[in-house]
Structure 1
């Protein structure tokens, strides 16, 4: 295992990179400016590279510095979240729900009012994460993927189907019951191909051939993809239950000729399993009941 640099050097660099000056970093860490400078110099000596280009005014980070800052953003971000959770829990009943960002945006947020009304004495924290990020700490955990052994409950359905806005369909003289996917722009999410369905895998699962020469647009998040669907830019894939709020209002339409069944899906569990405290178990079962309707 690679030896990590000293924590004092990492914190000094992180503060200086975020604030842009050694003076501000020193104020944040309650040390002198020369102390910050010495810690960063020691970190650079340990790593064997310069983290700042001091030959330019104003001083700028080198590529190595930018790479390290990105890594520290993730690591310190998780530490900050965990500390905030611990501090809030010490003040009262706090339950943290962690879920993929698409699930949070399109399934959980529309139900937050109901959730808060059901548990008025509990402070509920919502933490979202993108596909591929490390799992963030939470009391109630919702993950997307294949089934795993353990105390997990499956949420929502297992069908995956295309959706589009009525505006998009009208422009092409199509409807949810009468459409031609080969003449549509297919919206997909590039960062989640290993977990989520992309169009080639969906066509295979549905027993269909991918249209040759189909126009495909890639997005880096599901929220961007859904916004493009709502804006009438093309057709996207929906997991059964995720976009019900838009389907119910008619903002989007399900294309009903084809769908695929997938073993992947959303799975719900408590961080401490069956030993989780009562408030955690109650919220877990509330989400499970809503997700299985």
Structure 2
């Protein structure tokens, strides 16, 4: 009887590879990003999703829009599947942590690690002297490394994750004091004559200069003199060298502002409900090492 039940259960569930492909496509809203996440080709994801749809006899995605839109049946399946996989991921992480002892891994964007966490590293290691700390770069939703704590930029809402605010978003313009006299009289108007240092538009979670100008009520330059970077650390290095004006997120470059290596160009500042959050699996015990480190991170700035 038991063997018959086992056979029936195996026949009811679709292949796990198809379910994982569907989960990745639903999370990323793209077969291409799902393929990158799973380290397979885009056609392989398409075939697995199509096989799952054929198995279930329903359409899971409306493919006429970008990003991909889940159908009602697809949303129902994704909600149940993601809940189960998230619990499994949390359990696997806990088992691995048992094997690695007191090691804790924090993943974040290079700019956050360089300008916010590294200056506080002596205090962090002193607060947790008996634990091995590992730092990794990565905060993009389609390419998150395996870590105990992910520091991510956004609105604080991520499925199956708890989020504790570390920094709120305040964005203003900065430059080297050597460049300031060349920009003309104070005010946002002086920025229209400046060379603007900007992050690549693939990092669309942050403001670019066009949006920043509009938010402060100023018209963007018709033909901006812009240099684009795909790494915030490189952008800051260029600003320190007097190569142009950068957008600064309050809390990240405080050390350079205190020493005078960078100065504010104008009084305009943009704020929002977004910010940097320490995220970790929902249901993590409050007395755990992860929870204690997250509390320490949040206490450094008061969120």
Q: Distance in 1 between matches of 2:267 and 2:100?
A: 53
Question: How far apart are 1:92 and its partner, in Å?
Answer: 2.5
Tell me if the contact between 2:151 and 2:278 (Cα under 8 Å) persists in the aligned partners.
yes
Secondary structure of the 1:167 match is coil
Q: Distance in 2 between matches of 1:131 and 1:176?
A: 36
Q: Distance in 2 between matches of 1:155 and 1:86?
A: 28
Q: Distance in 1 between matches of 2:142 and 2:196?
A: 25
- Do structure 1's residue 216 and structure 2's residue 226 form an aligned pair? yes
Question: How far apart are 1:228 and its partner, in Å?
Answer: 0.6
Deviations 1:124-162 (A, max 9, x none): 111111646511121122101233166312222221111
Q: Distance in 1 between matches of 2:130 and 2:282?
A: 21
Question: How far apart are 1:190 and its partner, in Å?
Answer: 1.1
Q: Distance in 2 between matches of 1:277 and 1:93?
A: 14
Q: Distance in 2 between matches of 1:125 and 1:158?
A: 26
Tell me if the contact between 1:94 and 1:125 (Cα under 8 Å) persists in the aligned partners.
yes
Q: Trace 1:166-185 onto structure 2 (pairs within 5 A).
A: 166-170=177-181, 172=182, 180-185=190-195
2:214 to 188, 192, 204: 204
Secondary structure of the 1:157 match is strand
Tell me if the contact between 1:191 and 1:221 (Cα under 8 Å) persists in the aligned partners.
no
How many residues of Structure 1 are paired with residues of Structure 2 in the alignment? 215
Q: Distance in 1 between matches of 2:211 and 2:188?
A: 23
What TM-score results when the alignment is normalised by the length of structure 1? 0.65
- Do structure 1's residue 161 and structure 2's residue 206 form an aligned pair? no
Q: Equivalent residue for 1:241?
A: 251
Q: Distance in 2 between matches of 1:175 and 1:242?
A: 27
Question: How far apart are 1:177 and its partner, in Å?
Answer: 7.2
Secondary structure of the 1:136 match is coil
Tell me if the contact between 1:162 and 1:236 (Cα under 8 Å) persists in the aligned partners.
yes
Deviations 1:209-257 (A, max 9, x none): 1022221111111111111111110001111111111111111112232
Structure 2 spans left out of the alignment, 5+ residues: 1-14, 19-43, 45-91
1:128 to 129, 132, 137: 137
Aligned-residue Cα RMSD (Å) equals 3.1
CA distance 1:211–1:91, change in 2 (3 Å): closer
1:260 to 255, 265, 270: 270
Tell me if the contact between 1:131 and 1:192 (Cα under 8 Å) persists in the aligned partners.
no
Q: Trace 1:78-157 onto structure 2 (pairs within 5 A).
A: 90-129=99-138, 131=140, 133-148=142-157, 151-157=162-168
Tell me if the contact between 2:163 and 2:279 (Cα under 8 Å) persists in the aligned partners.
yes
Secondary structure of the 1:103 match is helix
Q: Equivalent residue for 2:241?
A: 231
Q: Equivalent residue for 2:261?
A: 251
CA distance 1:174–1:166, change in 2 (3 Å): farther
CA distance 1:86–1:252, change in 2 (3 Å): farther
Q: Equivalent residue for 2:7?
A: none
Structure 1 spans left out of the alignment, 5+ residues: 5-46, 48-82
CA distance 1:229–1:246, change in 2 (3 Å): same
Q: Equivalent residue for 2:280?
A: 270
